[in-house]
Amino acid sequence: MTHQEKTLKELHKLLDNMLLAEARHQPTIEKVKEDYRNSAINLVDYLALRATDIETLQLQLHRSGLSSLSSSEGHIKSQLIHVMEWLGAKPGAKCEVSPENGLKYLQRNIEVLLGVKSTENVIPVMVTFDTNFADDLELLCALLENGMRLARINCAHDTPDTWKAMINNLEQAKKKTGLPCKLYMDLAGPKIRTHIVDHKNQPVKLKVEEGDKIWLSDPEAKHKKSKKLIECTQPGIVANLQPGQRVFFDDGLFEAEVLEVDDKIARLKITRIATKKPVIKNDKGINFPETSYKIASITDYDKQCLPFIAKHADMVGYSFVNSAADMAELQKELSQLNKPGFPIIAKIETRKAVDELPGIILQGLSFGPTGVMVARGDMAIEIGFERMSEIQEEILWICEAAHTPVIWATQVLENMQNEGIATRSEITDATHAAQADCVMINKGDYTIDVLEILKDILNRSRKNKFKNSRLFRSLSIAQHFIKAS
């Protein structure tokens, strides 16, 4: 068998895998709205390809002067067939997405969701609103004039009256400047936080050292008060802990290992402290990256917020979505508000959400415009800081295969936002953000300065977005999706 014949045999196998995956997932594909069905097919094809390690094949193709299939996420089957034809084969398979159509689908979805036309060739910036934005018209005008194209209101903070004041002020600023700006509103989602109080039920801090033993309890647990006790605000998690699993507090500053579990109370050992102030505070986040538990992704408070969001916002951010079933639940709530097809941004911030990303996207596309936010704060704790760069890339590739817009979020130029000067690593991070379709910045004292430098970085980096080729090792997300079928 010649070298060319061996290569064609491997390519035929990849194409067969794609067609088999399409057949297996046909019921899911058919549920997707017609406007997005070709995107769903392309996503399934891409996952079928990425479930296999093809690095050696790619190198062979590259040495032969042919496409190595990299940078083809948006039209993967078309690219594969094109390579096979160059080698003399006639695959005869139907190709739903051409390179031109793949780009058009993505640009259409970006325009619908984010409000940016393809002719503008800019990456829109989303700005998180603070309480003072409700009555500072001059500031909002300056934000619009310096590149803000999306405004973010987090329903975990402030009140509907404050949100309405922010929205009214934004509308005045848009009218005054003549510049567009879409409104994004976050659902608060479930709160998994520390509850540390004294005998008078007053919030206190818990001082700890590495090696200390502490207790973590369910809010419904019956226990004796202890000086080393932390209560988890979300019921139903502590009982699912297993010895050896890790627990993180306060954005990962404190790491602990589970020693033993007695019903709804667990004994932990503090194994790492990454702060000079070794105190765990009340109302700080808790992460359980290695523990399986089930909690409602939409809280009663979220349901109270939804009518306001559906009335005033252009899209809703879905915090802590973990599965296609979670997406379906929010879609059901929106349909009951006579808002079928209301745009949803799935915030990917847990290990399970990363694994279930393809299903989340496909369920979203069965309803209407769908986007993905790479919420890097909780995600880094859930999957490990050392894997963040890898997972960010994987999310971007999968979303590009689905022609789904991506919002890059959390700690973008954060030091500059707080201190007025950016670190070297922040500049590099902001450069990587140009791979996304929108970049979110948090509130701070130097928002205008951040917008100016971010706009410059993104515009320069955007020009080089497609210059690098990639080798396709197998992706765990793709393997999880393909094997699940």
Name the percent of the chain lying above pLDDT 90. 63
Average pLDDT over all residues of the chain: 89
CA 118 to chain centre: 23
39-60 pLDDT, tens digit per residue, is: 999 999 999 999 999 999 999 8
The string of pLDDT tens digits covering residues 237-255 is: 999 999 999 999 998 899 9
Residue with tokens 């940016």: 116
Confidence label for 223 from pLDDT (cuts 50, 70 and 90): low
The whole-number pLDDT of residue 225 equals 63
pLDDT tens digit sequence for 276-290: 999 999 999 999 989
Place of tokens 């088999």: 20
Which has more pLDDT, 347 or 117? 347
464 pLDDT exceeds 70? no
Among all chains, which residue has been given the structure tokens 């998690």? 237
- 65-100 pLDDT per residue, tens: 888 888 899 999 999 999 999 998 888 888 999 999
Predicted structure pTM score: 0.91
pLDDT digits (tens, 9 = 90+) for 323-374: 999 999 999 999 999 999 999 999 998 889 999 999 999 999 999 999 999 9
Name the band, by pLDDT with cuts 50, 70 and 90, for residue 471.
low
CATH superfamily of the domain spanning 194-287: PK beta-barrel domain-like (2.40.33.10)
CATH 3.20.20.60 fits domain 107-190+295-462: yes
Q: Do 308 and 163 form a contact (C-beta atoms < 8 A)?
A: yes
**Which pLDDT band, with edges at 50, 70 and 90, does 468 fall under?**
very low
pLDDT band at 120 (very low <50, low <70, confident <90, very high): low
Where in the chain are the domains? 3-100+470-484, 107-190+295-462, 194-287
Percentage, residues of the chain above pLDDT 70 = 96
With the CA atoms of 396, 398, 400 and 406 taken in that order, what torsion angle do they form, in degrees rounded to the nearest 10? -50
Q: What per-residue confidence (pLDDT) applies to 462?
A: 64
Is residue 469 predicted with pLDDT exceeding 60? Answer: no
* Residue bearing the bigger pLDDT, 200 or 69: 69
Please determine whether the domains at 107-190+295-462 and 194-287 fall in the same fold group of CATH: no
pLDDT digits (tens, 9 = 90+) for 142-198: 999 988 999 999 999 999 999 999 999 999 999 999 999 999 999 999 989 999 988
Residues 6+ apart with CB under 8 A from 54: 10, 14, 69, 472
Max intra-chain CA distance, the chain: 81
pLDDT at position 485 over 90? no
Whole-number pLDDT of residue 144: 94
Question: What is residue 70's predicted lDDT score, i.e. its pLDDT?
Answer: 86
Q: Distances in Å between the alpha carbon of 184 and those of 162, 229, 314?
A: 15, 38, 6
Mean pLDDT of 397-418: 87
Spell out the SS3 assignment of the chain.
Answer: CCHHHHHHHHHHHHHHHHHHHHHHCHHHHHHCCHHHHHHHHHHHHHHHHHCCCCHHHHHHHHHCCCCCCCCCHHHHHHHHHHHHHHCCCCCCCCCCCCHHHHHHHHHHHHHHHHCCCHHHCCCCEEEECCHHHHCCHHHHHHHHHCCEEEEEEECCCCCHHHHHHHHHHHHHHHHHHCCCCEEEEECCCCCCEEECECCCCCECCEECCCCCEEEEECCCCCCCCCCCEEEECCCCCHHHCCCCCEEEECCCCEEEEEEEEECCEEEEEEEEECCCCCEECCCCEEECCCCCCCCCCCCHHHHHHHHHHHHHCCEEEECCCCCHHHHHHHHHHHHHCCCCCCCEEEEECCHHHHHCHHHHHHHHHCCCCEEEEEEHHHHHHHHCHHHHHHHHHHHHHHHHHCCCCEEEECCCCHHHHHHCCCCHHHHHHHHHHHHCCEEEECCCCCHHHHHHHHHHHHHHHHCCCCCCCCCCCCCHHHHHHHHHC
Report the pLDDT value the prediction gives residue 226, as an integer from 0 to 100. Answer: 67
